[in-house]
Amino acid sequence: MGWVLSPRQELILGKVVGEYLEAGSPVGSRVIAADPNIAFGPSTIRNELAQLEEHGLLAHPHTSAGRVPTDAGYRYFVDRLMPRREVSLELSLIRREVDEAMRATSETLSQVTNLLAIVSAPPIETATIRHVEVLLLQPQVLMVVVITSTGGVTKRVFTFDSPVDSGIVSWAAEYLNEQLVGLGLGGRMLVKRLNDHTLHHSERAILAKLSPAFTELAATAEQTLYMDGAARLLGEHRFQDVSQINSLMGMLEQRVTLLGALAAALAAPDVFVRIGAENELPQLQTLAMVAAGYGLPSRHLGAVSLVGPVRMDYGFAVSTVREAARQLSRFVSDVYDES
């Protein structure tokens, strides 16, 4: 928007948005005039409502009704009129593994807002190795267990052509813990230590066999999404037809699509808000998304978001997402420091 409303127009727009968010029905001039904080009469209010409608900030559903905010009206309200609110949010993240913390965050956000909460976990390549186990399951079968700094546990089984000596198995476990613990899964140093040419050929041979448990872990892993509140979203939002429900539910099943929708939040300096048609995904263009990145001081590792109807309490949604992102950032900073 290249223009700014007058103080009176901003006051009236704010009243329309507030009344509509609370009641869900079009707001007329009489309702606004009845507000003791409004010092001008119905005729002035009607004129300003008409101007706001002409600017595309309000819509007139039918001739006998009042006005409702448009997507642009909500955007003006969020950008210029919405007061900053502080919320108290107890996520109880202390002493949790990362996956538990993400799940707790999505559940709590959904419960306190009655909206759909989506939280993306940090990519696995940002984690470091915390512990390695090499287990001899059968004479020719080994299992490698890798525990990461984020609490993730992966298991991979390797079959050999001949029985494996238990002594080399014990050596491999000791070497891998000594050399790999603290290294990032996507780091070059990890590959270098798995290919140490100063080792005996039998030691190099078993490391070469077991190395995919580490080198392929980041490449094959998919970033995890935690969601909660789909039923609340369907109950809150009045869909116009079944196809909208099917479209939205289909999107929720597509991890890549959702990660793409959250990608912009990772680059935003503060809370990221997209209202209705501002969303690039067609499935979200009847909804609103409020999201924020969380992570380390140097970069974001994931996003926390709320999806709901365009008619939502933006002040509460923005404040809740901001606080959740702050607490998650503090949590993952502690986790990565421990590694």
Class of domain 125-220: alpha beta
Determine what percent of the chain is predicted with pLDDT higher than 70.
Answer: 90
Output the pLDDT for position 186.
67
pLDDT at 339 > cutoff 50:
no
Output the pLDDT for position 182.
86
- Non-local (6+) Cβ contacts of 83 within 8 A are 315
Judge contact between 312 and 276, C-beta under 8 A.
no
pLDDT at 338 > cutoff 50:
no
Domain formed by 7-81, architecture = Orthogonal Bundle (1.10)
- Greater confidence (4 vs 104) lies with 104
Model pLDDT for residues 208-223, shown as the tens digit of each residue: 999 999 888 766 555 6
Which strands, in side-by-side order, build the sheet including 225-228?
A: 225-228, 116-120, 299-309, 287-296, 272-275
Which strands, in side-by-side order, build the sheet including 141-148?
A: 129-138, 141-148, 153-159
Class of domain 98-123+223-338: alpha beta
Judge contact between 223 and 247, C-beta under 8 A.
no
pLDDT, mean over the chain? 86
Output the pLDDT for position 283.
81
Model pLDDT for residues 235-286, shown as the tens digit of each residue: 655 555 566 666 677 777 777 778 888 888 888 888 999 999 998 888 888 8
Model pLDDT for residues 105-149, shown as the tens digit of each residue: 999 999 999 898 999 988 777 778 889 999 999 999 999 999 887
Cα gap 8→243, rounded to integer Å: 41
- Greater confidence (101 vs 167) lies with 167
Output the pLDDT for position 185.
77
Residue-range domain boundaries for the chain = 7-81, 98-123+223-338, 125-220
Specify the 3-state DSSP secondary structure of 24.
coil
Output the pLDDT for position 14.
95
- Closest by CA to 55, choosing from 127, 5, 117, is 5
- Non-local (6+) Cβ contacts of 213 within 8 A are 144, 146, 154, 156, 158
Q: What is the DSSP letter of 80?
A: I
3-state SS, one letter per residue, for 141-156 = EEEEEEEECCCCEEEE
Cα gap 36→94, rounded to integer Å: 47
Model pLDDT for residues 33-73, shown as the tens digit of each residue: 998 888 888 899 999 999 999 999 999 887 667 899 999 99
Judge contact between 160 and 209, C-beta under 8 A.
yes
- pLDDT band for position 2 (cuts 50, 70, 90): low
Helices (H) and strands (E) in the chain, counts: 14, 10
